[in-house]
Amino acid sequence: MALSDSVLDHLRHVAALPDLTGTRYELESEIGRGGLGVVYAAHDRQLDRRVALKVLDFALAGEARLIARLEHPAIVPIYETGTLPDGRAFYTMKLVAGTRLDRYLAGSPSLAERLRVIRRVGEAIGFAHSQGSIHRDLKPQNIMVGEFGEVYVMDWGVDAVEGTPAFRAPDPSLDHRSDIYSLGALLRFMLPVAAPPALRAITTKAMNADPAARYSNAQALLADIERFQEGHAVEAWSEPLWHRLRRFGSRNAVLLWLLAAYAAVKFLLFFLRNV
């Protein structure tokens, strides 16, 4: 049987499509490929809503259960798991309407906005760690910013097969500290070109080649970011004296101005009298 190129490609396409007969879903279109499977948009006939349907190449029922256990505002809720007639496992989850993080940055959000997103991601990661789960493949493509500004971290627990090297820790075995590395890489990715040295220092600490030298957990990293946002000294950065004075000055600006006003008044009166 001689297959032309067009027929071959057509077969490659249709053989890969999930057959949803017997399920309550109707296939709509492919949304993306991540981790160990392809994600489609599907229509749930029973509830009359659109869902995201992820088909796993191989029956790793563990992945769905892993995520379903994690209930967190930044983790996409799982609706249902099932098996396709061809034996592949799938699960459905909330269809997030929003933009992926790499495209979100194209809209030039403010630094405060970027830090807000990172904090949401960090909170999700911290929560997952507390539940014993590790993300393993944290990168901008796995983060969505929804239409209401909500942040979702997706594609959990998948060993980064074709992982983007830039975001993957060089550790021989992945544990929660590898996630910290990725979190730091993510922060670095999100920082504008002219980023405050304190923030850059935070990313450097998080991305230390030695896992023991990184932040011990996500909360520690977030706490440092918070310290930066409140004008306090950041743990990751030993700042030069003049910078410390400048920061002190900006935090206590009002008081310093008042003291200056007092001194000015005194001097003024002194000179007025002796003129």
Partner 1 sequence: MNKILIGLLFGLVLGAIDGTTAWFTPEARPLIGGIMVGSSIKGMLVGLLSGWFARKVHSTKWGVVLGAGLGLLFAFIVAAMPSETGKHHYLEIMLPGFVVGAILGFLTQRMGPPHPAVIAE
Partner 2 sequence: MLAGAWGMIGSRTYLDTDTSIGGPHGGFPSTQLSLLEAATSGLANEALERVIALYWKPVYRFIRLKFRKNNEDAKDLTQSFFATAIERDFFVRFEPSRASFRTYLRMTVERFAANEHAAANREKRGGGIEFEPLENQAVTSESPEQVFEREWQRQLFALALDDLRSLCESSGKQLQFHIFEAYDLADEARPSYADLAARHGIAETSVTNHLAWTRRTLRGLVTDRLRGVTASDREAREEMRRLWL
- Residue indicated by tokens 């004296």: 241
Cα separations (Å) of 94 from 48, 143, 230, 253?
13, 14, 35, 47
Amino acid code (one letter) for 266: K
Phi/psi at 150 (nearest 5 deg)? Answer: -75, 150
* Residue 1 or 272 with smaller CB distance to partner 1: 272
Number of residues located near partner 2, criterion CB under 8 A:
29
Q: Does 60 bind partner 2 (CB under 8 A)?
A: yes
Q: Does 12 bind partner 1 (CB under 8 A)?
A: no
Applying CB under 8 A, which part among 40-48, 54-62, 125-133, 255-263 lies near partner 1? 255-263
Q: Which does 9 bind (CB under 5 to 8 A by kind): partner 2, partner 1, none?
A: partner 2
Cα 258 to its chain centre, rounded Å, is 43
Is residue 137 part of the annotated active site? The answer reads yes
- Give yes or no for a contact between 144 and 39, defined as CB atoms under 8 angstroms apart: no
Centre a 10 Å sphere on the Cβ of residue 54 and count the other Cβ atoms it contains.
30
Q: Does 58 bind partner 2 (CB under 8 A)?
A: yes
Q: Of 137, 155, 179, 224, which is the active-site residue? A: 137
Q: Which does 112 bind (CB under 5 to 8 A by kind): partner 1, partner 2, none?
A: none
According to CB under 8 A, which residues from 71 to 110 bind partner 2?
A: 84-87
| Contacting residue, 6, 46, 110, 274, with partner 2 by CB under 8 A | 6
Distance (Å, rounded) from C-alpha 61 to C-alpha 141? Answer: 23
- Give yes or no for a contact between 105 and 35, defined as CB atoms under 8 angstroms apart: no
Q: Which residues bind partner 2 (CB under 8 A)?
A: 1-17, 19, 21, 57-61, 84-87, 161
